[in-house]
A and B are shown apart, each in its own frame.
Chain A
Amino acid sequence: MLGFLWSLVRPLCLLLIYWLVLGKFLRSPIPNFAFYLFAGLVAWDLFGSTLNAATTSIVSNAGLIKKVYFPREILPLATVGAGLVHFVLQMVVVFAVLVAFDYDFFGANLLLLPLAVTALVIFLTAMSLFLAAANVYLRDVQHLIEVFLLFWFWLTPIVYPISFAFDVFGGRTVLGVKLSTIYMLNPMTSVVAGFQRAVYKHPIVADAAGNPVRVLYQASMGTYVGRLLAVIVASSVLVWIAQRVFARAQGNFAQEL
């Protein structure tokens, strides 16, 4: 049972730190900043920490792989499963807090949540299978992915509003492609935006002085749904590819470990 408590400690600490540093010291312009953080962090934590664990899942179970035959996919998939259990627990805490603070979150927006979770889990599964297999052959993948996830975290609108990034990008282009378009290609942006729309609910909120702040991704509900569906479809294809790669690679796991 204590294990479950530990699974809450890390995200709660992160939340506390970001809230203190970004919300209070740096005075984030986002009203109800803690709730905004909550929505994004809970999604990211499922993604980031699970991906880290899944990458090493085959290598750290070398003893088992070398002795017993079983479908090797079980290891990365079990990591995703364990991540999901922690995620559900964290969601319970999130909603408990929202209710306790009497935050206005209830509404049709909540319907985005299952869609966002589905998209996240499928994308995560594809990445997990692929990286777990890659790490057997190239052991430094596990270090690379840590660094990569750091970049990825900050390039996803979790602690800042997406509109701030767009304001900086302006109309700038790279090789004829708008920077904002590239930014939106990140599947985690769609997923996190979906979480935020579902949990934080309000796209535009007035700050203490009464000025409107564009907190969330400014788009219709339909666009949100469309983006999440696109992630689901693309990730499903990725899962299929990752599974093929994994099946190919697994024949030599035992000798590479």
Chain B
Amino acid sequence: MSGGTPIVRVVGVSKRFNLHHDKSLKERLVSRAGLRGGNGGKSSDEEFWALQNVAFDLDESNTLGLIGANGSGKSTLLKVVAGILTPTTGYVERRGRMAALLELGAGFHPDLTGRENVYMNASILGLSRRQTDRYFDAIVDFSGIEKFIDNQVKFYSSGMYVRLAFAVAVHVDPELLLIDEVLAVGDEPFQRKCMKRIKEFQRDGRTIVLVTHGIDVVRQLCDRVIMLDKGEVVVDGKPQEATRAFRERYAAQVDEPDDVRGTGQVSIGEMRVTDGAGRPKQRFESGERLGFEMVVEAHEPVVDPVIGVAIYNHLDNLVYGTNTAMREVPLGTVSGRRRVCFDFGPIPMVEGQYFITVAVHSRDETVQYVWLERQVSFKVFSLSADSGVLHLDPTIEIEPA
């Protein structure tokens, strides 16, 4: 390996797109003649900068994650790195064999069969027919679509398409692998298979650039993350920092409470997250004490209700749920206003944003008096990197055995 020189150098790259311009000679003539209504013959060249002055060096055997909201320029950047788009200004240097999986499928021709496409793709990536012969069985085996390999790919489902594309990309022995959000299409076993393969790639010291919306994927795989916003690099660093920045930036957008259901006999108000001792608090460290308070108001007396609280993470997975019935807190008949305080004690949860859903229902759960989905949120930070749901504090000892 050639030590210091980066495998990819992106230097001052900007990319401009012209929005809706004339697609044919006819349109161009018509608009020149000023016959088109509306914009009166003015040629319509609105500009849009998809990338602005992006620069980074990527060293060999790194895994880089590109994150950002839709339209932030992630995919454009990946295409520029892949050489498919030429930047308006700046340039990209690249070395080594590269395989790219961009937006569903790695350049298959719909009229060719799976088999023919494998050979065509491999030859574009620089493999001879004989080399492809050698890899062919492994490719088909990995993709798991033996039965359809001699069908035209236009009849493939998107999952089959991605399976074959990924199989080709990882078998052609690339030094640089570019992946754009494609794995989301495969089913779960295949996704696991892909993850395993990507990790093998990392162990082999190959370089990977990955566009993803899955923050967990970033944490699992990447050792460096670049976050883009409106075409500019806003964060370039360790996955921890970038995912934190990502959550902070987009928290506001997911914060709006959705969904209010129920019979209306009961309403809930004055909800707030606290430190467990009544003081409002929004940001917690893993292991800090969490509390939650709300005021339940019964507009007419309700008999033996159950008041429940559930904590969901950003993926809408239930992290913890409890209610007065589970904790055996008798309520009897409730009327008027009651302040309800939950003290969860220390919360050993991983970093992230969490949402609280509250509900009041009858003991047999047949009547929902009120149900408020994702009403309030709080954030948890941790100093160490971890993945999963639970923040544990393991020590690891290694000794001769």
Residue numbers of A with Cβ under 8 A of B are 61, 63-70, 137-141, 144, 250-252, 254-255
Quick one: closest A residue to B82, CB to CB? A69
B84-113: CB near A (< 8 Å → 1, else 0) gives 111000000000001010110111111000
Is the beta-carbon distance between A67 and B107 smaller than 8 angstroms?
A: yes
Is the beta-carbon distance between B124 and A63 smaller than 8 angstroms?
A: no
Taken together as a complex, chains A and B put the C-alpha atoms of A70 and B102 apart, in Å, by 15
Quick one: closest B residue to A250, CB to CB? B86
Is the beta-carbon distance between A68 and B25 smaller than 8 angstroms?
A: no
Taken together as a complex, chains A and B put the C-alpha atoms of A254 and B294 apart, in Å, by 55
Q: Which of B85, B98, B100, B125 has the most CB of A within 10 A?
A: B85
Taken together as a complex, chains A and B put the C-alpha atoms of A66 and B108 apart, in Å, by 10
Quick one: closest B residue to A252, CB to CB? B86
Is the beta-carbon distance between A254 and B84 smaller than 8 angstroms?
A: yes
Q: Could you say which residues of chain A place their CB within 8 Å of the CB of B24?
A: 138-140
Smallest CB separation, A235 vs chain B (Å)? 24
Q: A138-B24, A250-B86 are in contact. List 7 more A-B contacts (CB 8 A).
A: A64-B107, A65-B84, A138-B25, A139-B24, A251-B85, A254-B79, A254-B84
B28 within 8 A of A: yes
Q: Could you say which residues of chain B place their CB within 8 Å of the CB of A139?
A: 23-24
Q: Given the known A-B contacts A63-B110, A64-B109, A251-B86, are A69 and B25 also in contact in the complex, defined by CB atoms under 8 Å?
A: no
Quick one: closest A residue to B110, CB to CB? A63
The answer, among A70, A138, A250, for a CB contact under 8 Å with B124, is: A70
Is the beta-carbon distance between B108 and A69 smaller than 8 angstroms?
A: no
Q: Which of A64, A68, A140 has the most CB of B within 10 A?
A: A68
Is the beta-carbon distance between B105 and A69 smaller than 8 angstroms?
A: no
B121 within 8 A of A: yes
What are 25 A-B pairs with beta-carbon distances under 8 A? Answer: A61-B109, A63-B105, A63-B108, A64-B109, A65-B107, A66-B102, A66-B107, A67-B84, A67-B108, A68-B100, A69-B98, A137-B23, A138-B23, A138-B24, A138-B25, A138-B28, A139-B24, A140-B25, A140-B26, A250-B86, A251-B86, A252-B86, A254-B79, A254-B84, A254-B85
Taken together as a complex, chains A and B put the C-alpha atoms of A67 and B98 apart, in Å, by 12
Taken together as a complex, chains A and B put the C-alpha atoms of A63 and B109 apart, in Å, by 7
The answer, among B23, B84, B121, B125, for a CB contact under 8 Å with A66, is: B84
Taken together as a complex, chains A and B put the C-alpha atoms of A63 and B120 apart, in Å, by 13
Q: Which of A64, A69, A250 has the most CB of B within 10 A?
A: A69
Residue numbers of B with Cβ under 8 A of A are 17, 23-26, 28, 79, 82-86, 98, 100, 102-103, 105-110, 121, 124-125
Q: Given the known A-B contacts A63-B109, A138-B24, are A68 and B121 also in contact in the complex, defined by CB atoms under 8 Å?
A: yes
Q: Could you say which residues of chain B place their CB within 8 Å of the CB of A65?
A: 84, 107
Is the beta-carbon distance between B28 and A68 smaller than 8 angstroms?
A: no
Is the beta-carbon distance between A69 and B84 smaller than 8 angstroms?
A: yes
Is the beta-carbon distance between B17 and A67 smaller than 8 angstroms?
A: no
Taken together as a complex, chains A and B put the C-alpha atoms of A50 and B258 apart, in Å, by 60
The answer, among A67, A140, A251, A252, for a CB contact under 8 Å with B105, is: A67
Taken together as a complex, chains A and B put the C-alpha atoms of A67 and B84 apart, in Å, by 7
B contact patch SS: loop
Q: Could you say which residues of chain B place their CB within 8 Å of the CB of A255?
A: 17, 85
Is the beta-carbon distance between A68 and B124 smaller than 8 angstroms?
A: yes
Taken together as a complex, chains A and B put the C-alpha atoms of A252 and B108 apart, in Å, by 20
Taken together as a complex, chains A and B put the C-alpha atoms of A251 and B79 apart, in Å, by 11
Taken together as a complex, chains A and B put the C-alpha atoms of A63 and B105 apart, in Å, by 9
Q: Could you say which residues of chain B place their CB within 8 Å of the CB of A250?
A: 86
Taken together as a complex, chains A and B put the C-alpha atoms of A44 and B24 apart, in Å, by 28
Taken together as a complex, chains A and B put the C-alpha atoms of A61 and B125 apart, in Å, by 17
The 5 closest A-B pairs by CB, nearest first: A251-B86, A67-B107, A68-B107, A69-B83, A140-B24
Q: Which of B17, B107, B110 has the most CB of A within 10 A?
A: B107
Q: Could you say which residues of chain B place their CB within 8 Å of the CB of A63?
A: 105, 107-110
Is the beta-carbon distance between B121 and A144 smaller than 8 angstroms?
A: no
Taken together as a complex, chains A and B put the C-alpha atoms of A138 and B32 apart, in Å, by 15
Is the beta-carbon distance between B109 and A67 smaller than 8 angstroms?
A: no
Q: Could you say which residues of chain A place their CB within 8 Å of the CB of B85?
A: 251-252, 254-255
Taken together as a complex, chains A and B put the C-alpha atoms of A225 and B108 apart, in Å, by 45
Q: Could you say which residues of chain B place their CB within 8 Å of the CB of A138?
A: 23-25, 28
Quick one: closest B residue to A138, CB to CB? B25
Q: Could you say which residues of chain A place their CB within 8 Å of the CB of B79?
A: 254
Taken together as a complex, chains A and B put the C-alpha atoms of A137 and B100 apart, in Å, by 25
Taken together as a complex, chains A and B put the C-alpha atoms of A251 and B24 apart, in Å, by 19
Taken together as a complex, chains A and B put the C-alpha atoms of A144 and B124 apart, in Å, by 32
Smallest CB separation, B110 vs chain A (Å)? 7
Quick one: closest A residue to B106, CB to CB? A67
Taken together as a complex, chains A and B put the C-alpha atoms of A138 and B26 apart, in Å, by 9
Smallest CB separation, B89 vs chain A (Å)? 12
Q: Could you say which residues of chain A place their CB within 8 Å of the CB of B121?
A: 68
Taken together as a complex, chains A and B put the C-alpha atoms of A63 and B110 apart, in Å, by 8
Smallest CB separation, B122 vs chain A (Å)? 11
Taken together as a complex, chains A and B put the C-alpha atoms of A69 and B82 apart, in Å, by 7
Smallest CB separation, A113 vs chain B (Å)? 33
Taken together as a complex, chains A and B put the C-alpha atoms of A26 and B158 apart, in Å, by 58
Taken together as a complex, chains A and B put the C-alpha atoms of A255 and B103 apart, in Å, by 14
Q: Could you say which residues of chain A place their CB within 8 Å of the CB of B109?
A: 61, 63-64
Q: Could you say which residues of chain B place their CB within 8 Å of the CB of A70?
A: 124
Q: Could you say which residues of chain A place their CB within 8 Å of the CB of B124?
A: 64, 68, 70
Taken together as a complex, chains A and B put the C-alpha atoms of A200 and B28 apart, in Å, by 46
Q: Could you say which residues of chain A place their CB within 8 Å of the CB of B105?
A: 63, 67
Q: Could you say which residues of chain B place their CB within 8 Å of the CB of A251?
A: 85-86
Smallest CB separation, B285 vs chain A (Å)? 45
Q: Could you say which residues of chain B place their CB within 8 Å of the CB of A67?
A: 84, 100, 102-103, 105-108
Is the beta-carbon distance between B25 and A141 smaller than 8 angstroms?
A: yes
The answer, among A61, A68, A137, for a CB contact under 8 Å with B106, is: A68
Q: Could you say which residues of chain A place their CB within 8 Å of the CB of B82?
A: 69
